[in-house]
Amino acid sequence: MSEFHDNYPQYEVMSNHSEEDGKKARRTLWNVFWIMLVITIFELIIGSMAPGHGWTGTLWLKVLFIGLTLVKAGAIVLWFMHLGHEVKFFKYVILLPYFVFMCYTIFIILTEGTYSGQPGKFAPTNKIFIEQQAALKNGHHGGAGHGAETPHEGEAAGAGQHH
Amino acid sequence: MAHSAEIDSKDAWGGGQSPFRVSYGKMMMWFFLVSDALTFGGLLISYGFIRHKYAEVWPKAEHVFTHFPFVEQHLPLAYVGLMTFILIMSSVTMVLAVEAGHRMDRRGVTIWMFWTIVGGAAFVGSQAWEWFHFIVGTEEGALRDVWSMETGSYVRQIFHGANMVTNEYGVPQFANYFFFITGFHGTHVFSGVIINLIIFLNVLKGTYEKRGHYEMVEKVGLYWHFVDLVWVFVFTFFYLL
């Protein structure tokens, strides 16, 4: 493969660096690792505390988790994948189309996905799932339903609605 | 990193060099990663959409994922936290292998790539363990309408575990998305381990010493970091939110 080489600069070899630069690079990498570890542990602690304190489903919790995830993603792309060392235009070539696509997809699914906005309207959720969640909320772990519905009543409901 | 200096656009696009000052292989790996990221992005957005639709009945991850190997008690999210740590750790060892490659330190590359492969294999094994427990389910199970061949209709009975049609944790889409997204991601981890293994063997052979650079290690390193990146998002959307 090395015979097939135009008169292009050898970028592969140009990115080699000395022992000193290596030491600095390694220190940066380990620092990024510690940051990632601290953020992940923090997320796990908040995540396990959330149900007990009733934080589940709150807006600030979602914003916190998504924000921290974006921070971790940025750290990986910038320092582990070395995109931060690349030419600015190349950074844009990689990141901008992706963000545009993601923003567009999220926007379009929120504005056009109206059929799914009302869960009960077109295909009512099977009551079995609602009961299971209610039972779990009342503290019965692993809610095997309390046999609330008799089999033939449930059968009619299930047969009509099973997706 | 001499090539991080900004270049005049006339020089950049005038020919005779890469306008991005990167080699062809690295640039194409980045382009591939963008396409793969779009796939995962689409999958995760669709997951968010369906999850929102069934928000009232979607199971809580802290209740479903409570198993830990060799431990009897319920430890919510502990094992998935360990998996995240293993994958981030393997990402660190991978970038250290790349850094060693930049110093033409063959021994360093060997050691760090070895640990990356071990970490990757540990993650795949852990994910298989999670799937096993997810599919087998709990002793209590849950009441479900299960299709019965004998009666030719749905029968309400206690169901354990998960398959592509029914699961004991919640609506069918919960298991479907779990299998699809973690499975698709796990396939990427597995293929990454295989690719890393091949490059590792090349390092042992001395292929890159002869070539004068370890850029192949950097390219597979990009793929490996992408796999870690996707897991960070999967971890947040599936297990935390």
Residue A44 has pLDDT above 90, yes or no: no
Residue A143: inside a domain, yes or no? yes
**Contact (CB, 8 A) for A40 and B84:** yes
Residue of chain A minimizing CA distance to B153: A159
Q: Are residues A99 and A132 in the same domain?
A: no
Interface A-B, measured as beta-carbon pairs within 8 A, has a size of 231
Higher pLDDT, A100 or A15: A100
The residues, any chain, with a CB within 8 Å of residue B232's CB and separated by 6 or more, are: A69, A72, A73, A76, B84
Q: Are residues A53 and A75 in the same domain?
A: yes
Higher pLDDT, B61 or A150: B61
The residues, any chain, with a CB within 8 Å of residue B225's CB and separated by 6 or more, are: A76, A77, A80, A81, B91, B94, B95
Q: What six digits make up the tokens of A124?
A: 């009512």
Q: What is the mean pLDDT of chain B?
A: 91
Residue B115 has pLDDT above 60, yes or no: yes
Q: Would an 8 Å CB–CB cutoff place B228 in contact with chain A?
A: yes
Domains of chain B (ranges; CATH) run 20-135+171-240 (1.20.120.80)
User: What are the chain A neighbours of B94 within 8 Å (beta carbons)?
Assistant: 80
Inter-chain CB proximity A113 and B49 less than 8 Å: yes
Residue A157 has pLDDT above 80, yes or no: no
Higher pLDDT, A51 or B187: B187
Average the pLDDT over A137-158 and give the result: 45
| Stretch 94-153 of chain B: residues touching chain A, C-beta under 8 Å | 94-96, 98-100, 102-104, 138-145, 153
Inter-chain CB proximity A87 and B91 less than 8 Å: no
Going by pLDDT thresholds of 50, 70 and 90, the confidence category of residue A149 is: very low
Q: Would an 8 Å CB–CB cutoff place B66 in contact with chain A?
A: no
Residue A147 has pLDDT above 70, yes or no: no
Going by pLDDT thresholds of 50, 70 and 90, the confidence category of residue B214 is: very high
Going by pLDDT thresholds of 50, 70 and 90, the confidence category of residue A122 is: low
Query: For residue B2, what pLDDT is reported?
Result: 42
**Contact (CB, 8 A) for B167 and B175:** yes
Residue A125: inside a domain, yes or no? yes
Percent of chain B clearing pLDDT 90 (strictly above)? 65
Q: Are residues A63 and A84 in the same domain?
A: yes
Going by pLDDT thresholds of 50, 70 and 90, the confidence category of residue B118 is: very high
Residue A162: inside a domain, yes or no? no
Q: Are residues A33 and A90 in the same domain?
A: yes
Query: For residue A146, what pLDDT is reported?
Result: 39
User: What are the chain B neighbours of A90 within 8 Å (beta carbons)?
Assistant: 20-22, 27, 30
Residue A77: inside a domain, yes or no? yes
Percent of chain A clearing pLDDT 90 (strictly above)? 38
**Contact (CB, 8 A) for B119 and B87:** yes
Q: Are residues A104 and A128 in the same domain?
A: no
Q: Are residues A26 and A85 in the same domain?
A: yes
**B195, amino acid identity:** I
Residue A151 has pLDDT above 60, yes or no: no
User: What are the chain A neighbours of B139 within 8 Å (beta carbons)?
Assistant: 142
Q: Are residues A82 and A26 in the same domain?
A: yes
Query: For residue B100, what pLDDT is reported?
Result: 95
In the numeric block, the tokens 């923090």 are attached to A42
Determine the structural domain holding residue A72 and report its residue range. Answer: 11-119
Q: Are residues A66 and A130 in the same domain?
A: no
Residue A25: inside a domain, yes or no? yes
Give the separation between CA B199 and CA B14, rounded to whole angstroms: 35
Q: Are residues A125 and A82 in the same domain?
A: no
Going by pLDDT thresholds of 50, 70 and 90, the confidence category of residue A138 is: confident
Average the pLDDT over A31-48 and give the result: 90
Residue of chain A minimizing CA distance to B239: A47
Query: For residue B11, what pLDDT is reported?
Result: 76
Higher pLDDT, B165 or A148: B165
Residue A4: inside a domain, yes or no? no
Residue A55 has pLDDT above 80, yes or no: yes
Q: Would an 8 Å CB–CB cutoff place A100 in contact with chain B?
A: no
Residue A3: inside a domain, yes or no? no
Higher pLDDT, A39 or A161: A39
